[in-house]
Amino acid sequence: MRVIGVELSGNDANVCLLSLAEEVFQIPDCRTRKLSLPKDAKAKDLRYFQKTFGQLVQDYKVDQIVIRQRPMKGKFAGGAVGFKLEAALELLNDVEVIVMTPTAIKESLKRNPVLVPMPDTGLKMFQEVAFNTAYAYLMKDKYDL
């Protein structure tokens, strides 16, 4: 199974491609680590973002997109642009999109901790949340009852 973990942060979608085959995780090379939307995004910019992400899903034969859920209100609430990005991803054709709560991610990581230090993965530090989201989903799907 191949998934893309997504963390929406401001106008950016930080992504991490992760696969699980025969109980072995792999972080395949991916041409992008972050997709951004301009601050004054218009409809054409949102369509371009959606098309670009859709092409990424198609090119890498992704089974699912897993998005880390953001609070709707409060100190760490997501902004309007972030919710536009999330909607654009949820409306992609031919791929299942899962929104995973931070609590579920934390619980899955607690039960199945990441055994490789982040610097050894070859990912950038800003991809850590996206990686943890994808990893937690794959572990939850694989091992949780």
The Cα 5–Cα 19 span in angstroms is 11
Query: Residue 9 is part of which domain span?
Result: 2-143
Q: What is the mean pLDDT of residues 50-64?
A: 96
pTM score, two decimals? Answer: 0.91
Q: Check which CATH number belongs to the domain holding 99 and give it.
A: 3.30.420.10
Number of structural domains (the chain) is 1
For residue 13, CA distances in Å to 9, 23, 116, 137 come to 6, 27, 24, 18
pLDDT in tens, 77-95: 767 788 899 999 999 999 9
Contacting residues for 96 by C-beta, under 8 A, at least 6 apart? 63, 64, 65
Answer for the pair 92, 35: CB distance below 8 angstroms, yes or no: no
